[in-house]
């Protein structure tokens, strides 16, 4: 080999990647000499010490240049303004506004679509937040629990919200260390609170003295320990205001239920709507209820009477699961003979009351939380759809601006300025959309509250809200702005301006994927909403077993009406306003009592019978218009009917009776079987509880028992208003001190659907908006595509293509996307809706027409949306579209 | 002139420029220093010092001719300015004065 010539570059060179790194770091004006020095050194070393050595030391030489002195750029002769300089910002915004104004259609689609999506997400977010912070009004909400109990009967575990009374003493005596507070409470009951001639019907509770402390009630006046004396009452601010106006209520005596004199010891702030105790507007000491109610007093040592509510607050060092485990067997230890029922106590934490209080066979199985999830997902999807539109339109539009970028670059914009220009544009649009969304939310909150039965206010003071909003604005703006910002700013101006700029073949692919995603969500939502409505409709049309029209129920104050039934009935029927009437222990639309422990001839050996139990006056069947299937109704002609009962159809099946009439129900207590109750007839099933569930086996017991409700059948030949006025007159005459209240059974029954209907309506509204947003996006995209293909369409027309064929050409792509979306959405919807329907015993089925309707709907919407643009593009005179070049 | 303007490394770099003038650029200076001190000196460090000295006004520079072993890149040649020369001699005088005041026995003890 010839020796290396000194004046020619050596064959070996230093590692190029190190040079590249260096050139990237070192300021441009120093690059030549620095690289020259390095290479000269390298070659000198290589000559003297060998190539290997030179290579090894080269990187050290390179590192020596990574210092500020070389990194610092030389100030330009024409200094670039800092990219966040106020002048530049003003310029960005001016350009952005001009762009928005120039493309009014796109701007409108962009901003309104995003704003609607944001508004929906905000409303849903507020709703979800309200649901998730339910009961957070109480300072110790994470340490408070209610004691529940589960029992096994016929192989199934039932979980009850109630416990027997002796449990309280047991907890207080033996387990005191685990609890900070133990509070017995009544159900929330209605009572008449009176002061002077002011009389209010209010709902409230009887509670033990620790209640105000445990619930961290905000005391506005009087004592925090307001329940020490037995004849005291604590009033919510609204109740106090209603009774006393501006007077100071503390120390005043109020009359309760026209029987008891109670001293007002304190006033507490109203408990907010999103709280389990929100109906509690007065609190009276538990001991007062005990002292005045025989059966409660007697229950003090009855482990078998499970009618009581017990709340606890755990001690600081105790955990829910630990305490649950400790107390679970208390009842069993006290009553070993009921081992087969396996009664177990458990704590349900307050944080679970609202959303996770459903038990299935002894296992906690959610509850309202499913709806929270449902709406959370819908909200997220609607927002996602809006964002997808926004990004799609933004990136689609941005390609149009390649030339603008080219010009800007060639007159000296640097990349950072272009990036910040595009980003500030998307920030501007997202910011505008956010403001519109806030405005929408402010306007819509009242309507939303009505629809959702909530009392949500705009969270001006909630830092989470602002934090999340800000986060969202930044993320959306960055996401949707980053593509144009980074992609377009990387163009080489020469290429763009010469017109050789080309969008890649797959540039539209992400947009197509996103459109498919959008329509998948929309179609799934349509199917879901249709199914929810169908389920509601299906249940509404269910035969209910009695006649709702003109049926009125009147709640009675205990005591005052005792023994007056016959008299009132007489008077009402004579007034002509009422044609039939009965007295009963519970409203038509609910089951209050359940009774077990019966036997009858032919009962299977280990059967543990339990019935819904209704005490009725003899006219019950007549007044409700129920149908007798076999046997006969109660009748005054048979004095023995005082110990007779009617069964419903389900009860007959449940008991396995072939010939029900004449069967005698006896108490299974061996010592005292009693004289028994004879079945005299069977009535048709009547929907009392949830219309979604099967009817319970029910016994209608002749014994009037506790009369809590009157049922009136209004005269059909005069207006309901007039009849009600007459009835009110009769009541006022006989019970001048009691307020007159009534409910139409029709309304009460309709109220059973309110929660499902509310969910359905909300989901429907949101689905509609989701579809709207998807279509908006499609509309924008279609018009973009039409614009992009103007020339192609022009050429095709010149060559003789018909408008119809052009329309087909333009729509085909979108229809294909929607068909793909359908294929994805249908199995998803089937899977989830089937799971949802399983929650209902009485349920509709998923039928093919729902899917067909949803699919056809989506296709029609797509075609309508796209066709508008397609036909517009196809009708353009090709002379115009082709002349521009 | 403030003495603190001239760091020790800068001082030897400046001296080296004076020594190799008029063909003084970072590579030869780095090699000069390596020879004199026996330690590795990177051109980067030298170049940085040269830049600092230039901004202080002790050196001026111009681009020289390209050579093939530099891949055809030009080199930057440095010359000491009058100010630089004055600073160098001042530094030298300070040193000499101090040396002169060391008692001879002490120097003997070091050796």
3-class secondary structure per residue, A676-694? CEEEEEEECCCCCCCCCCC
Q: CA-to-CA distance for A718 and A790, rounded, in angstroms?
A: 71
Backbone angles phi, psi at A543, to 5 degrees: -65, 135
List all residues 6 or more positions away from B111 whose beta carbon is below 8 Å from its beta carbon.
none
B22-50 b/e (C-beta count within 10 Å ≥ 16 → b): eebbbbbbbbbbeeeeeeebbbbbbbbbb
ipTM for the whole complex:
0.88
Inter-chain CB proximity B44 and A32 less than 8 Å: no
Q: CA-to-CA distance for A464 and A455, rounded, in angstroms?
A: 19
Q: CA-to-CA distance for A375 and A365, rounded, in angstroms?
A: 18
A162-199 b/e (C-beta count within 10 Å ≥ 16 → b): ebbbbbbebbeeebeebbbbbbbbbebbebbbbbeeeb
Q: CA-to-CA distance for A397 and A103, rounded, in angstroms?
A: 10
Provide the pLDDT for residue A76: 63
Which residues on chain A are in Cβ contact (under 8 Å) with B40? 57
Nearest to A33 among B45, B69, B73 (CB): B73
- The pLDDT tens digits for A727-755 are 999 998 888 878 888 999 999 898 888 88
Closest by alpha carbon to A767, among A538, A535, A531?
A531
Provide the pLDDT for residue A4: 43
In a 3-state reduction of DSSP, which class is residue A205? strand
Provide the pLDDT for residue A5: 43
Bin A499: left if φ > 0, else alpha if -120 < ψ < 50, else beta.
Answer: left
> Which residue in B has a C-alpha nearest to residue A10's C-alpha?
B69
Looking at the DSSP bridge assignments, the partners of residue A552 are: A712, A744
Please, are residues A591 and A612 in contact by the beta-carbon 8 Å criterion? yes
Please, are residues A409 and A141 in contact by the beta-carbon 8 Å criterion? no
Provide the pLDDT for residue A466: 93
Provide the pLDDT for residue A725: 93
Provide the pLDDT for residue A2: 41
Q: Which contiguous run of DSSP H or E holds residue A352?
A: helix A350-353
Closest by alpha carbon to A116, among A379, A474, A500, A416?
A379
Provide the pLDDT for residue A370: 83
Q: Which two tokens stand for residue B36?
A: 């004199």
Antiparallel, parallel or unpaired: β A644-648 and A677-683: parallel
Q: CA-to-CA distance for A1 and A258, rounded, in angstroms?
A: 124
Q: Give the residue carrying structure tokens 């028992």.
A: A705
Backbone angles phi, psi at A584, to 5 degrees: -155, 170
Which residues on chain B are in Cβ contact (under 8 Å) with A36? 66, 70-71, 73-75
CATH fold of B8-106, please?
Answer: Arc Repressor Mutant, subunit A (1.10.10)
Q: CA-to-CA distance for A50 and A518, rounded, in angstroms?
A: 65
- The pLDDT tens digits for A367-426 are 788 888 888 988 888 888 888 888 788 777 776 777 788 888 888 777 777 888 888 888
pTM (two decimals) = 0.74
Antiparallel, parallel or unpaired: β A260-268 and A232-236: parallel
Provide the pLDDT for residue A57: 86
- The pLDDT tens digits for A553-579 are 998 876 677 788 888 999 999 998 999
Provide the pLDDT for residue B107: 83
Q: CA-to-CA distance for A165 and A146, rounded, in angstroms?
A: 14
Cis-peptide into B22, omega within 30 deg: yes
Provide the pLDDT for residue A137: 94
From residue A755, alpha-carbon distances to A153, A379, A452 in Å are: 30, 19, 9
Please, are residues A423 and A477 in contact by the beta-carbon 8 Å criterion? yes
From residue A220, alpha-carbon distances to A34, A235, A434, A760 in Å are: 79, 10, 39, 40
- Contact residues of A toward B, CB < 8 A: 7-10, 32-41, 43-44, 57, 60-65, 67, 69-70
Segments of chain A scoring below 70 in pLDDT: 1-11, 75-83, 399, 496, 498-507, 558-559, 669-674, 704-706, 884-885
- The pLDDT tens digits for A241-269 are 999 999 999 999 999 988 899 999 999 99
Provide the pLDDT for residue A669: 66
Inter-chain CB proximity A61 and B31 less than 8 Å: no
Provide the pLDDT for residue A405: 81
Closest by alpha carbon to A582, among A609, A533, A547, A616?
A616
Backbone angles phi, psi at B60, to 5 degrees: -125, 160
Inter-chain CB proximity B69 and A39 less than 8 Å: yes
Inter-chain CB proximity A67 and B44 less than 8 Å: yes
Shortest Cα–Cα distance, B17 to chain A (Å):
16
Closest by alpha carbon to A182, among A150, A207, A218, A217?
A207
Of all residues in chain A, the percent with pLDDT exceeding 70 is 95
Backbone angles phi, psi at A106, to 5 degrees: -60, -45
Shortest Cα–Cα distance, A66 to chain B (Å):
8
Cα angle A220, A223, A227 (rounded to 5 degrees) comes to 115
Provide the pLDDT for residue A1: 39
Best of A13, A33, A75 to substitute, by most chain B Cβ atoms within 10 angstroms, is A33
């Amino acid at each position: 080999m010839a020796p290396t010539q000194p004046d020619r570059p050596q064959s070996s060179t230093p590692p190029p990647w190190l040079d590249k790194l260096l050139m990237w770091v070192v300021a441009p004006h120093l690059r030549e000499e620095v690289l020259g020095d390095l290479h000269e050194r390298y070659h000198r070393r290589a000559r003297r010490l060998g190539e290997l050595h030179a290579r090894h030391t080269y990187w050290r030489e390179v590192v020596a240049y990574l210092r500020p002195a070389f990194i610092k750029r030389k100030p330009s002769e024409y200094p670039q303004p800092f990219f966040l300089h106020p002048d530049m910002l003003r310029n960005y915004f001016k350009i952005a506004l001009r762009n928005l104004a120039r493309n009014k259609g796109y701007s409108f689609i962009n901003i309104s679509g995003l704003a609607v999506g944001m508004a929906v997400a905000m409303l849903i977010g507020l709703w979800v937040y309200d649901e998730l912070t339910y009961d957070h009004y109480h300072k110790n909400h994470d340490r408070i629990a209610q004691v529940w109990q589960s029992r096994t009967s016929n192989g199934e575990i039932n979980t009850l919200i109630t416990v027997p009374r002796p449990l309280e003493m047991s907890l207080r005596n033996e387990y005191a260390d685990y609890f900070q507070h133990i509070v017995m409470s009544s159900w929330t009951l209605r009572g008449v609170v009176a002061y002077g001639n002011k009389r209010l019907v209010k709902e409230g509770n009887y509670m033990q003295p620790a209640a105000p402390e445990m619930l961290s009630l905000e005391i506005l006046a009087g004592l925090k320990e307001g329940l020490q004396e037995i004849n005291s009452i604590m009033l919510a601010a609204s109740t106090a205001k209603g009774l006393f106006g501006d007077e100071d209520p503390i120390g005043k005596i109020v009359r309760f239920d026209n029987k008891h004199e109670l001293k007002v010891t304190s006033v507490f702030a109203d408990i907010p709507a999103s709280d389990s105790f929100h109906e509690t507007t007065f609190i009276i000491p538990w001991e007062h209820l005990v002292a005045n109610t025989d059966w409660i007093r007697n229950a003090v040592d009855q482990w078998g009477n499970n009618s009581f509510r017990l709340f606890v607050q755990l001690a600081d060092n105790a955990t829910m699961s630990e305490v649950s485990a400790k107390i679970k067997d208390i009842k069993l230890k006290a009553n070993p003979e009921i081992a087969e029922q396996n009664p177990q106590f458990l704590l349900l934490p307050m944080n679970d009351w609202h959303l996770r209080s459903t038990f299935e066979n002894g296992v906690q199985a959610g509850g309202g939380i499913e709806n929270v999830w449902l709406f959370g997902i819908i909200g997220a999807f609607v927002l996602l759809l809006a964002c997808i539109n926004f990004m799609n339109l933004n990136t689609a539009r941005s390609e149009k601006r390649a030339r603008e970028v080219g010009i800007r670059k060639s007159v000296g914009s640097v990349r950072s300025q272009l990036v910040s220009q595009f980003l500030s544009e998307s920030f501007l649009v997202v910011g505008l959309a956010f403001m519109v969304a806030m405005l929408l939310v402010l306007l819509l909150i009242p309507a939303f509250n009505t629809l959702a039965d909530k009392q949500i206010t705009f969270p001006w003071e909630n830092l989470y809200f602002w934090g999340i909003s800000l986060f969202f604005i930044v993320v959306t703006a960055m996401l949707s702005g980053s593509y144009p910002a980074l992609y377009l700013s990387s163009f080489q101006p020469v290429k763009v301006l010469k017109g050789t700029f080309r969008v890649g073949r797959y540039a539209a692919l992400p947009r197509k994927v996103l459109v498919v995603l959008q329509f998948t969500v929309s179609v799934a939502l349509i199917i879901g909403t249709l199914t929810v409505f169908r389920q509601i409709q299906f249940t509404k049309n269910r035969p209910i077993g009695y006649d709702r029209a003109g049926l009125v129920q009147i709640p009675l104050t205990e005591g005052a009406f005792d023994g007056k039934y016959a008299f009132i009935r007489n008077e009402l029927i004579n007034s002509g306003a009422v044609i039939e009437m009965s007295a009963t222990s519970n409203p038509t639309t609910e089951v209050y009592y359940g009774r077990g422990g019966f036997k009858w001839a032919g009962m299977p050996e280990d059967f543990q019978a339990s019935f819904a139990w209704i005490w009725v006056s003899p006219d019950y069947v007549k007044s409700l218009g129920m149908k007798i299937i076999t046997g006969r109704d109660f009748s005054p002609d048979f004095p023995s009917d005082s110990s007779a009962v009617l069964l419903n159809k389900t009860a007959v099946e449940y008991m396995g009776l072939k010939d029900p009439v004449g069967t005698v129900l006896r108490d299974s207590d061996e010592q005292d079987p009693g004289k028994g109750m004879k079945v005299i007839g069977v009535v048709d099933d009547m929907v009392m509880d949830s219309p979604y569930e099967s009817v319970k086996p029910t016994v209608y017991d002749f014994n009037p028992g506790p009369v809590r409700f009157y049922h009136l059948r209004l005269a059909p030949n005069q207006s309901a208003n007039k009849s009600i006025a007459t009835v009110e007159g009769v009541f006022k005459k006989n019970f001048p001190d009691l307020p007159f209240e009534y409910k139409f059974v029709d309304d009460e029954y309709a109220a059973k659907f309110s929660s499902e209907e509310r969910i359905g309506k909300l989901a429907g509204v949101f689905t509609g908006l989701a579809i709207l947003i998807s279509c908006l996006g499609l509309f924008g995209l279609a018009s973009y595509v039409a614009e992009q293909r103007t020339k192609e369409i022009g050429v095709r027309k010149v060559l003789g293509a018909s408008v119809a064929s052009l329309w087909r050409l333009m729509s085909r792509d979108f229809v294909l996307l929607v068909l793909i979306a359908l294929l994805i959405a249908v199995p998803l919807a089937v899977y989830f809706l089937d799971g949802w329907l399983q929650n209902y015993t009485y349920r509709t089925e998923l039928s093919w027409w729902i899917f067909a309707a949803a699919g056809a709907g989506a296709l029609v919407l797509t075609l309508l949306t796209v066709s508008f643009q397609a036909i517009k593009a196809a009708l353009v005179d090709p002379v115009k579209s082709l002349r521009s070049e | 002139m403030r003495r603190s303007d001239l760091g020790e490394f800068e001082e030897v770099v400046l001296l080296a420029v004076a020594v190799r003038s008029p063909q003084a650029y970072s590579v030869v200076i780095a090699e000069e220093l390596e020879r004199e001190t026996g330690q590795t000196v990177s051109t980067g460090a030298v170049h940085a010092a040269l830049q600092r000295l230039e901004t202080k006004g002790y050196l001026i520079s111009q681009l020289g001719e390209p050579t093939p072993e530099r891949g055809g890149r030009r080199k930057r040649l440095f010359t000491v300015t009058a100010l630089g020369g004055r600073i160098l001699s001042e530094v030298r005088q300070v040193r000499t004065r101090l040396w002169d005041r060391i008692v001879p026995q002490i120097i003997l003890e070091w050796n």
